[in-house]
Structure 1
Amino acid sequence: MQVEELEEVGRHIQRERARAGLNQRDLAEHAGLSQPTLHRIEQGARAALSVTELDRIARALDVPVRYLLQGNPVADRVRVAPRTAREATQEDLDEARRMVVDLLALDDRLTESATPHRTSTPQRDSGRSAPVTDAEGQGRTAAAALRTRLGLGIAPLVDLPELLETATHLDAGAVSIPSTVSGISAQDPARGVAVALVNICDVPERQRFSYAHELGHVVLDDGVAVDHLRGGRSPQEIRCDAFARHFLAPLEGVRQEWQRTATTCAPTADDGSVDPLRRLAQVARHYRVSLSVARIQCAKLGIGLPSECQNALPTNREAAWRFGWGPEYEAEVKAAQQISPPRRILERAVQAYAAGSIGLKPLARLLCMDVQDAEAQLEGAGIRPPAAPEARRIDARSMAAARRRLQNRADEEPPQA
């Protein structure tokens, strides 16, 4: 290899090491190299780099050798749009981006194996890419069209990640990303795969809204055109907020539920009427949305609410305990705090691990676990990789390419005197 190629390989190794969360000492130990040797390799300061050394490093990182030779193609082509708070730092954005890119890179590797995979893309609204001239109207129309397409009517959505994956072909999951990043969507244009990740949190209705909001960006085909949103809300963001409200709590359903609460909730006034806040809380409970979202939808319907429903509203937790479903709400909080990787990708990754196609490290990263905990969970479920020979089976295509490249360079260079 020439000096420029050795420097390029060194940069690729550094990037993959950073994605794996390893320092130089850890990677050197796993690869059976000294730290000074690895340091020189990453700096491109070695006079030569052998195929064996490349394979050792690739095995330690659990990536194909071609990632070290040519770079990670998914990382180079993927389009990412994080949804951030004003105070988000560049480190927060980089961490969130790394997680979603790792996810798509793993899915790309699984596609190359014999593991079955999905090839269809998320269904999008027919009016995609249109200018945002009426954020509320366009969001509502897109949400209604998707509900109609999926045959959902006005029913509440129970398992939102499952719905997104099976019905719209959007891989969705909840992971631990910086708190300043509420969600992040990404698409691999070469494969037509879209992923939406939301943050684990202790407010389940917020998590559901984030799922629906990210779906809106994909359905309206603007999720990858908006990046690093800070400060004010863009028209696309406002439109996707509207999409999320109407997708989660359609107006006709809110109307019917509001009317129903007039007779199903216990009267609280001398005239036999029901506390409006109690009715509003029941609507929010029915659709698993925040009281604020329920209030906005009621306002869209022209339902007049008293001042106690217009000013400072209680949280959903406070309303739940006040009106009798506190224990159920706490169970939902615990569920929203759990790591939940996209199910299709997790299933394929477990199958690939059991078949010996991938190692434990990428699966552990997908599960947001350390390697030992991930191995223990899989062992407990009776999932083990096949017995491997002394040396891991090397990716034949990657190693053949590496040998050809190294041999070509050796043939081109004149012999040393």
Structure 2
Amino acid sequence: MRIGVKGFQGARLTQARAARGMTQTALAKASGISSPSISKWERGEQMPEFAALERVAEALSLPTTWFLQPLPDYGSGTYFFRSNSSLAAAGRAVARTRLEWLHELSLCIQEWIDWPQLTLPRVLSRDEALELTDAEIEFLAMQSRELWRLGIGPIEDVIRAVEGAGIITTRESLGYLKMDGVSRWFESDGRPYMFISADKTSAVRNRFDVAHELGHILMHSGLSSVDEELHHNELERQAHLFASAFLMPAESIAGALNYPTLDTLLALKKKWKVSIGALIMRAKSLDLIDSDYATRLWKNYSSRGWRKGEPLDDVLSAETPFLMPRAVKMLIEQGGFSKAVLMSTTGFMATDLERLCSLPEGFMSSEPAKVIELNAPVWRSSPIDQSSASPGKVVPLRQRAVK
């Protein structure tokens, strides 16, 4: 007779290790359970006894019930990483898993709260993506701005802009400085998701990361993982160009980038909230400076020590997601959920909920917020009128009646 916790899901253990960046050996050391046992559990050859599962769950900072939930079918969507090519596979695995957990948490929240309607330009097919010209990328960036009524000036908050279009985002530190972000579409709710790393201290770098991932979402969602591997460098170049065009429209910034000085670029950085390096590259891509002038700018840039950190990096504030934290607060403050019930319902511990939902540290473990009892289902309101959305603002959440 088989012994152990019936219903244990070995795939969940594999995923949890990936989320924590732990090898089987590291988990064995942290939990006191042998590596061979952990390996057998993950392969489904053996089920853990409850006491052993508790030790593993504690080492992974997850409830034991997490390992009884079947791993969802995440579909066949392609993951697009904005990261240094030298990033270790473990770093990609952590970011990928955190994005999957964000998606799972979003599906759970959607039982009670509707996200903003997805409002994106037409998503390109595989053939269109593989034949994109630079002019078409510039046009797509401007089309996005026009659709979201962002004008042609600096974007006040890039994360708010993409969330207002219905893209679910999260931003958190992973401990991998070379990881910038990852994005993909999930078929289960037909919506794109975006993970942005908060390990870098530069707010302007994060803004560019968001715009870069937006480029992948709009241009490359029809591509397979094989396509991504074969054309990785070109796809990254295209996403980089999209981000530049989205953040710095040619028609409004070209005049200021005609053979600028570094001091001019510093003033433009404060206005447009993009890095000086990105401004130099934008000037070069628009043929507003030649290669020799760009080289001189880069040499002066290096001589000022700006490759290690640019001026204003410690002044400009980082942008943070809005949809997820607002949804959690609404469920607690207006939806009749206590924090304990919300954690039990979603399956996540306090720390993961806080990080995935961009909530303040300790929010889920602090004293419970006052719960407002609802006598009748009163949450659902009329659908959002996208035409009335203010430029760069998040469209208000459309709320479902509590079930």
Q: Quick check: TM above 0.5?
A: yes
Tell me whether 296-305 or 116-125 shows the greater mean CA deviation.
Answer: 296-305
Cα distance in 2 between the residues matched to 1:379 and 1:8: 29
How far is the alpha carbon of 1:61 from its aligned partner? 3.9
How far is the alpha carbon of 1:13 from its aligned partner? 5.0
3-state SS in 2 of match to 1:331: coil
How many residues get paired? 344
The 5 A counterparts of 1:18-417 are 18=17, 21=20, 23=27, 44-45=45-46, 61-62=62-63, 68=68, 71-75=70-74, 79-112=78-111, 114=112, 116-118=113-115, 120-121=117-118, 123-125=120-122, 127-129=124-126, 130-166=128-164, 168-177=165-174, 178-200=176-198, 201-222=200-221, 225-226=224-225, 233-257=232-256, 276-299=261-284, 301-304=286-289, 309-313=294-298, 329-332=313-316, 335-336=317-318, 340=320, 342-350=321-329, 351=331, 354=338, 356-359=341-344, 361-368=348-355, 374-375=361-362, 377-378=363-364, 383-384=368-369
Structure 1 residue ranges without an equivalent (≥5): 30-35, 260-273, 387-417
Question: Does the aligned pair in 1 maintain the 2:284–2:294 contact within 8 Å?
Answer: no
Report the TM-score when normalising by structure 1.
0.65
Tell me whether 293-302 or 247-256 shows the greater mean CA deviation.
Answer: 293-302
**CA 1:99–1:275 in 2, change beyond 3 Å: closer, same or farther?**
closer
Cα distance in 1 between the residues matched to 2:88 and 2:177: 11
Root mean square deviation of aligned Cα:
4.7
**CA 1:24–1:208 in 2, change beyond 3 Å: closer, same or farther?**
same
**CA 1:137–1:26 in 2, change beyond 3 Å: closer, same or farther?**
same
How far is the alpha carbon of 1:253 from its aligned partner? 0.9
Report the TM-score when normalising by structure 2.
0.67
Q: Deviations over 1:234-281 (max 9, x none)?
A: 33222211111110000111135458xxxxxxxxxxxxxx97333333
**CA 1:72–1:357 in 2, change beyond 3 Å: closer, same or farther?**
same
Structure 2 residue ranges without an equivalent (≥5): 372-403
Q: Deviations over 1:274-321 (max 9, x none)?
A: 97333333333322222233234334555357956542435599699x
Structure 1 vs Structure 2: percent identity of aligned residues? 15
**CA 1:292–1:24 in 2, change beyond 3 Å: closer, same or farther?**
closer
**Letter in structure 2 aligned against 1:107:** S
Q: Deviations over 1:40-92 (max 9, x none)?
A: 9776546x999xx999x999944867x726x2215466642223322122212
**CA 1:184–1:231 in 2, change beyond 3 Å: closer, same or farther?**
same
Question: Does the aligned pair in 2 maintain the 1:62–1:358 contact within 8 Å?
Answer: no
How far is the alpha carbon of 1:214 from its aligned partner? 0.2
Tell me whether 126-135 or 197-206 shows the greater mean CA deviation.
Answer: 126-135
Cα distance in 1 between the residues matched to 2:217 and 2:6: 38
3-state SS in 2 of match to 1:9: coil
3-state SS in 2 of match to 1:151: coil
Return the index of the structure with the highest Cα Rg.
Answer: 1
How far is the alpha carbon of 1:189 from its aligned partner? 0.8
**CA 1:275–1:82 in 2, change beyond 3 Å: closer, same or farther?**
closer
**CA 1:180–1:276 in 2, change beyond 3 Å: closer, same or farther?**
closer
